[in-house]
Chain A
Amino acid sequence: MTAPGTNGSAKEQLRQALIAAGIDASDERIAQLLPAYQGLLAGAARIAQLDLGETEPAVIYRLPSPE
């Protein structure tokens, strides 16, 4: 994941991401989704700056206890 770039590069990145996800990547949809996608990229960049150390995710797979 790259940091948020220019509007143009974010647009192209969004187009590729939509195609990979099997979602309509028309210019109309890209215009609709671009602000939210830029928010997604900004959030990703902020999380990437954090040192999460050895913190494990809150969702951990647990094997069911034997009966």
Chain B
Amino acid sequence: MQATTLHDLSLAEAAAAVRSGEVAPIELTDVMLERIERLDPTLNSYITITADAARTAARAAGDAFRRGDVLGPLHGVPIALKDLFDTAGVRTTAGAGLLHDRVPVRDATVTARLQAAGAILLGKLNMHEFAFGVTTANPHFGSCRNPWDVSRIPGGSSGGSGAAVAAALCYGALGSDTGGSIRIPASLCGVTGLKPSYGRVSRAGVLPLSWTLDHVGPMTRTVTDAAIMLNVIAGHDSADPASAGIAVMDWTANLEADIRGLRIGLPRAYFWEGCEPGVLAALEEVAAVLRAEGAEVRDVEIPDLALAGLAFPPIISAEAAAFHQRWLRQHPGAYGDDVRERLETGALYPATQYINAQRLRRIVTEGFLTTLTSVDVLLTPATPVTAPALADTVVATPNPLTRCTFPINLTGLPALVVPCGQDGAGLPVGAQFIGRPFAEDTVLRAGRAYERVTEHHLRRPGVY
């Protein structure tokens, strides 16, 4: 296989090439490290690059293959992690100056599961400080830039993950999502991002932002790749109090099934409001493609959805402030201005407002669940706008980038974002599929059905 094309393989193709003996893990690793060295000074998607350890692990994976020992589905495949997943012996900063030199002694559960599956860790990815923001304009490690236009943000908080996957600086990555932090950068960078159901993937060893809203999930270049990564990281973990005792499955098994008869709802009220024309045009095209594939697409209304905007701020802010209380009192100047302001405000919410927000959250969730009795999947824009300029990172409150994503964190429902077009400036647009609790298989099947007959996931950014 030509070294010049190795970087363009999907994660599934890279894993298959290793399994067949066509490519050695060290070849994949060297290709990625060369690209990181060449392109990342522009993108700044990595905080820490573990080149030596990656090459050592890749050579060991090659030796294991020659002995006939295949570790797992990601044997020899280079991936990267948002820098809030603990990695034993490897610096994990959460994008914070306060944790600049923090080196965990244990792996996060998902780190350990990826390594047990044979993945090679290339490094730790840039992010919004402490995951509390959606720009990845990071005052401590430098701003991450969007590979489609380096004057624009990649979104966040998992901006490094979105940029690195889009620019082929890894074959897949993990992100975390509290109000959209997987799905926003997926949308803005033109990649696939899956926020699984709350409790589906362990958060143990993942620095928290908001315990009741935090989710962990994959960011990849295809839906199949996301399913493969979910296969590896999902499953009960007694180290995570929120981990669900729900059976796992092979999420690749049903991906190629057709979607004839699948009922897809378009909740235009709320989700279509405030969207750029290019985003709405792309979404109408997605709906048309899904209809052509046999889905029954119709408009739906989600009851009480307007309450989401009242419920979300107290929950994320108060929970984040509780986690940061001690650091915030002792080292307030160590935080970036935006994150410090959000945390200090979060410390001021009265307990009654937090509890009432959790009561509203139940009402909002019931609204979604009621709607999802008449349709199987909801289809919405992922972000109302395409990537804003880095210079415009002082964004309004509430932030328009999170409008379509944060309500889903309140519900804990699974949500998949896939690239679905481009605006007039050539920037990616994302579509979001939302499913019933623990119905990742359905949103993945819907997303794959769309991907199978379109080519948006094959478009490549300018920095590539």
Interface residues of A (CB under 8 A from B): 1, 14, 17-18, 21-24, 29, 32-33, 35-37, 39-40, 43-44, 46-48, 50, 52, 55-59
Contacts and interface: CB of A to CB of B under 8 A. Distances in A.
Nearest to A54: B359
**Main SS class of interface, B:** helix
B339 to A, nearest CB: 12
Given A23-B328, A50-B356, A52-B359, 14 more contacts: A18-B348, A21-B347, A23-B332, A33-B341, A40-B314, A40-B348, A47-B357, A47-B360, A50-B307, A55-B363, A56-B362, A58-B362, A58-B365, A59-B358
A47 B353 contact: yes
A37 B310 contact: no
Contacts, number: 77
A48 B360 CA distance: 11
Interface of B: 212, 307, 310, 313-314, 328-329, 332, 341-342, 344-345, 347-350, 352-353, 355-363, 365, 397, 410
B277 to A, nearest CB: 29
Most buried by A among B332, B355, B356, B363: B356
B348 A17 contact: yes
Given A23-B344, A58-B361, A36 B328 contact: no
B350 A23 contact: no
A44 B363 CA distance: 17
B361 A43 contact: no
Contact of A58 (B329, B358, B397): B358
Given A1-B350, A44-B353, A57 B344 contact: no
A57 B356 CA distance: 7
A39 B344 CA distance: 13
Contacts of A35: 397
A44 B361 CA distance: 15
Contacts of A56: 359, 362
A33 B313 contact: no
B358 A36 contact: no
A43 B349 CA distance: 10
A58 B262 CA distance: 30
Nearest to B354: A57
Given A52-B360, A59-B212, A47 B345 contact: no
Contacts of A18: 344, 348
A52 B356 contact: yes
A60 B344 CA distance: 26
Nearest to A57: B358
B357 A55 contact: no
Contacts of B314: 40, 43
